């Protein structure tokens, strides 16, 4: 199976993402921040969108859906059954554990509430690729607009359990700002320091910092390391459990000015 992932910036810092199965020609857009930009990227490669995989209901992830449906009338819109009332009309409503075929490639749905209650991610296990929307970012995680800190931490643990080599595509280019916060709560982590040097060089060259991998995030992302003694000590929370550390970390991140 040969697949190709194309990423490009939409709006300000959203990623447009196309997943293409070469054998069948099927192509999915992950979310729809900008219908015109996504259609142009597909057209430039001679690809017709067969699917639109929605991760959650926020406007900057769904506002281009109608334009894409008009441009590609056969395109199937896929989204969370639990969020169908606030998503564009769904052709396929999915729940945790469901599968969605994009040609010969199969996506597994994982429910990841926290950023929103209906957030889902799509994992292409055979291809070693996951599209995680706004649940997990490189060196960070999504804000808790609807869920609780324990809920979000559990969602992140689901993703952290994926094979380490899994490539992670996120909804936004936030890595540099996330990293500036990460070093305040995990200052003595050499893997994080190395990642920050890499990220700074990439952004200085106007290059993307994604995809990342699960292994890299396990080693560097403080929101996946809330149970680590070094992180607890750096935050002055040595006696706290991981949920309490995570909640305090998220609160500090919300106040942090990069």
Tokens 């054998």 label which residue? 23
Distance between CA atoms of 55 and 172, rounded to whole angstroms?
13
| 58 a catalytic residue | yes
| 57 a catalytic residue | no
Select which of 21, 83, 134, 186 is catalytic: 134
- 3-state helix, strand, coil split of the chain in percent (to 5) is 35, 25, 40
Select which of 51, 56, 57, 119 is catalytic: 56
Select which of 20, 51, 57, 61 is catalytic: 61
Select which of 57, 58, 83, 119 is catalytic: 58
Select which of 31, 115, 119, 186 is catalytic: 115
| 115 a catalytic residue | yes
Residue 79: exposed, middle, or buried by beta-carbon count in 10 A (0-12, 13-18, 19+)? buried
| 119 a catalytic residue | no
| 172 a catalytic residue | yes
Give the closest residue to 42 by CA, choosing from 60, 59, 17. 17
Select which of 31, 60, 83, 186 is catalytic: 60
Distance between CA atoms of 65 and 31, rounded to whole angstroms?
8
Q: Which residues pair with 43 in a beta bridge?
A: none
User: Which residues are catalytic, by number?
Assistant: 56, 58, 60-61, 115, 134, 172
């Amino acid at each position: 199976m040969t697949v190709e992932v194309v990423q490009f910036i939409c709006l300000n810092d959203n990623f447009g993402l196309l997943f293409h199965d070469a054998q069948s020609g099927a192509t999915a857009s992950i979310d729809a921040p900008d219908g015109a930009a996504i259609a142009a990227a597909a057209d430039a490669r001679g690809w017709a969108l067969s699917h639109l995989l929605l991760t959650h209901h926020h406007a900057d992830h769904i506002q281009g859906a109608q334009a894409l449906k008009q441009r590609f009338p056969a395109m199937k819109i896929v989204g969370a059954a639990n969020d169908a009332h606030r998503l564009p009309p769904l052709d396929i409503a999915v729940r945790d554990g469901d599968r969605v075929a994009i040609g010969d490639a199969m996506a597994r749905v994982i429910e990841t509430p926290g950023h929103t209650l209906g957030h889902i991610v799509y994992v292409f296990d055979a291809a070693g690729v996951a599209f995680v929307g706004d649940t997990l970012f490189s060196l960070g995680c999504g804000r808790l607009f609807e869920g609780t800190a324990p809920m979000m931490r559990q969602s992140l643990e689901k993703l952290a359990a994926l094979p380490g080599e899994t490539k992670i595509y996120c909804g936004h280019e936030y890595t540099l700002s996330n990293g500036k916060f990460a070093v305040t709560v995990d200052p003595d982590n050499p893997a994080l320091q190395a990642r920050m040097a890499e990220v700074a060089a990439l952004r200085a060259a106007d290059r993307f910092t994604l995809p990342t991998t699960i292994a890299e995030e396990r080693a560097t992302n403080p929101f996946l390391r809330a149970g680590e003694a070094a992180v607890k000590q750096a935050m002055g929370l040595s006696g706290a459990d991981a949920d309490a550390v995570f909640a305090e970390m998220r609160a500090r991140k919300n106040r942090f000015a990069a």
